[in-house]
Amino acid sequence: MKKELLIGVVVGLIANVIGLYFATSFFGNGEDVVSVLKAASFEGFLGKLISLGAILNLLAFFVFIKKRQDYRARGVLLITIIIAVSTFVFKFI
């Protein structure tokens, strides 16, 4: 049970990183990812980019639900909630 939850968390993190890469590539106007993330942090919309990256977690969540792997889906949901709370806290700090 804990192993399945951990697999879901790892899949959620990987999906978020891939989604963040796609978001920075789309909104970066041809710049590299690091410079886009630095500019986003400086201009105050890094949390929005991270939230856009979490969209791929929906895909992973529904794939796990469809395959009836509920604990893995819980792990993806858990990491999505953690990312949402951390971006909320990051915005107000």
Highest mean pLDDT among 33-42, 47-56, 65-74: 65-74
Q: Comparing 16-20, 47-51, 67-71, which segment has the lowest mean pLDDT?
A: 47-51
pTM here is 0.84
DSSP per position, 37-66: HHHHHHHT-HHHHHHHHTHHHHHHHHHHHH
Domain boundaries, the chain: 2-92
Q: Is the dihedral of CA 43, 45, 46, 47 positive or negative?
A: positive
pLDDT digits (tens, 9 = 90+) for 10-32: 999 999 999 988 888 887 777 78
Has residue 90 got a pLDDT over 90? no
